[in-house]
Amino acid sequence: MHIPRLTIALLLGAASVLAFAPMGGFPLIWLTLGGLYALLERTTDGTRGAASNARTGALLGAAYGFGLFIVGVSWVYVSLSAFGGMPAPVAALATLLFCGVLSIFPAVACAVHVRFSPPGWWQRGLLFASLWMLAEWLRGWVLTGFPWLAAGYSQAPPSPLAGYAPVLGVYGVTLITAFLATLIAEAARRWISGKAGCGTPRRWRALLPVVIAGLLLGGGGLLRAAHWTAPRGEPSSVALLQGNVAQDLKWRPEKFSESLRIYYRLALENPAQLTVLPETALPAFLSQVPGEYLDELKSLAERQHGDMLLGIAVGDFASYANAAISLGQSTRQRYSKSHLVPFGEFVPPGFVWFMNLAHIPMSDFTPGAKQQTPLEIAGQKVAVNICYEDAFGEEIIRQLPAATLLVNISNVAWFGDSLAPAQHLQIAQLRALETGRMMLRATNTGMTAIVAADGTVIGALKPFTRAALRGEVQGYVGATPYVRWGNWPAVILALLVSIAFVHPRNTVS
What pLDDT does 506 receive?
Answer: 47
The predicted-structure confidence for 335-379, as pLDDT tens digits, reads as follows 999 998 887 676 666 665 555 556 666 667 899 999 999 999 999
The predicted-structure confidence for 429-450, as pLDDT tens digits, reads as follows 999 999 999 999 999 998 999 9
Q: Hey, how many other C-beta atoms are within 10 angstroms of the C-beta on 305?
A: 12
Question: Over 70: is that where the pLDDT of 267 sits?
Answer: yes
- pTM for the model stands at 0.93
Long-range contacts of 291-298 (CB under 8 A, 24+ apart): 293/260, 293/264, 294/327, 296/264, 297/264, 297/267, 297/327, 298/327, 298/328
From 329, 334, 340, select the one nearest 315 (Cα to Cα).
334
Q: What does the alpha-carbon distance between residue 186 and residue 177 come to, in Å, rounded to a whole number?
A: 14
Question: Over 60: is that where the pLDDT of 45 sits?
Answer: no
Q: Which of 298, 337, 345, 389 is catalytic?
A: 337
Q: Which of 381, 387, 389, 434 is catalytic?
A: 387
What pLDDT does 509 receive?
Answer: 34
359 or 45, which is more confident = 359
Q: What does the alpha-carbon distance between residue 160 and residue 247 come to, in Å, rounded to a whole number?
A: 38
Q: Which residue ranges make up each domain of the chain?
A: 3-226+487-501, 244-339+368-485
The predicted-structure confidence for 68-118, as pLDDT tens digits, reads as follows 999 999 999 988 887 777 888 988 999 999 999 999 999 999 999 998 888
Tell the CATH topology of 244-339+368-485. Nitrilase/N-carbamoyl-D-aminoacid amidohydrolase (3.60.110)
Give catalytic status of residue 99 as yes or no. Answer: no
Give catalytic status of residue 198 as yes or no. Answer: no
What pLDDT does 355 receive?
Answer: 55
Question: Over 50: is that where the pLDDT of 394 sits?
Answer: yes
Return the percentage of the chain with pLDDT > 90, whole number. 75
Q: Which of 279, 345, 389, 434 is catalytic?
A: 279
Q: How far is CA 470 from CA 139, 216, 378, 408, 458, in A?
A: 36, 37, 15, 16, 11
